[in-house]
């Protein structure tokens, strides 16, 4: 058995979220609402990686991720890899990038923005610059900096 597999066991079906920045796994789980679902999660934190030093891994059993969830991961941690597992085999694998727009996940910083007082208006932001991150609210044009975005997780 490989060392890696002893640390974080294989799953039969589901999604493997790998290369999460070390120590952030639980924040991502909360962010995506995975903790409130009835899906088994296998979480590896501070896993040794030859490329990254330390990283976190989350395995979501019997579930794939929605586009909104993938965008969220891409915006908070580009470089995260998503593998879809079927019958213990990797069916597909993608490396996430910062998306062009992001819905639902972020909150607008402007207290008078329609998304902050009228339910259920979902937030929507246009990514105007990827590094450092700069996003603009579709509803009120408020621009948020990378530090504003990162402070939300």
**With respect to Zn ion, which residue has the nearer C-beta, 76 or 125?**
125
Residues 85-144 that bind Zn ion (CB under 5 A): 108, 110, 113, 137, 139-140, 142
**With respect to Zn ion, which residue has the nearer C-beta, 16 or 75?**
75
47: helix, strand or coil: strand
Q: Does 55 bind Zn ion (CB under 5 A)?
A: no
**With respect to Zn ion, which residue has the nearer C-beta, 8 or 137?**
137
In the numeric block, which tokens belong to residue 39?
A: 């899906």
CA dist list (Å): 45 to 26, 30, 55, 59, 75: 9, 15, 7, 12, 20
CA dist., res. 153 & res. 109, Å (int): 14
Question: Under rule CB under 5 A, how many of the chain's residues touch Zn ion?
Answer: 7
Contacting residues toward Zn ion, per CB under 5 A: 108, 110, 113, 137, 139-140, 142
């Amino acid at each position: 058995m490989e060392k890696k597999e002893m640390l974080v066991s294989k799953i039969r079906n589901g999604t493997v979220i790998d290369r999460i920045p070390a120590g952030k796994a639980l924040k991502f789980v909360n962010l995506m609402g995975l903790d409130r679902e009835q899906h088994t999660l296998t979480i590896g934190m501070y896993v040794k990686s030859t490329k990254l030093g330390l990283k976190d891994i989350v395995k979501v059993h019997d579930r794939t991720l929605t586009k909104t969830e993938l965008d969220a991961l891409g915006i908070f941690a580009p470089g995260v890899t998503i593998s879809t597992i079927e019958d213990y085999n990797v069916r597909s694998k993608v490396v996430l990038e910062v998306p062009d727009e992001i819905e639902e996940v972020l909150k607008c910083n402007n207290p008078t923005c329609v998304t902050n007082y009228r339910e259920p208006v979902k937030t929507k932001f246009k990514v105007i610059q990827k590094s450092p991150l700069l996003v603009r609210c579709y509803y009120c044009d408020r621009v948020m900096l990378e530090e504003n975005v990162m402070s939300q997780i």
